[in-house]
Amino acid sequence: MGIFVGGGGSVRGYGYQRLGPFDPNGDPVGGRSLNEFSIEARYRFGNFGIVPFFDGGNAYESSLPKGSDLRYGAGIGVRYYSNFGPIRIDVGTPLTPQPGDSRIAVYVSLGQAF
């Protein structure tokens, strides 16, 4: 397997690689396919910005992704547009939480998401 979903680069609100198949010990093993989407509204004022977002997706054991079992996350981010790229801070929450998911996840990064 090897396709992982969850975290700041995919479905914000969930922990890193916490969506998709798991082994009996509860460790992520990755899938063979995925569904993933993200919608953002970026508003910039000077060197700062605000970004509400809505993400969704999941990884699957099958070679073709399913249209079911999607997990959703939403939140808001702030941006500081520096000379070397935007500094991003996103705060997300899982809208379809699973047992053990945190209520809030914070992501800090440098550069554009896409």
Q: Based on DSSP, count helices (H) and strands (E) in the chain, helices before strands.
A: 0, 6
70, amino acid identity: L
Task: Summarize the confidence of residues 67-92 as an average pLDDT.
Answer: 93
pLDDT band at 114 (very low <50, low <70, confident <90, very high): low
- pLDDT for the residue numbered 68: 82
pLDDT band at 113 (very low <50, low <70, confident <90, very high): low
Alpha-carbon span 18 to 12, nearest angstrom: 11
- pLDDT for the residue numbered 2: 87
The reported pTM is 0.88
- pLDDT for the residue numbered 6: 92
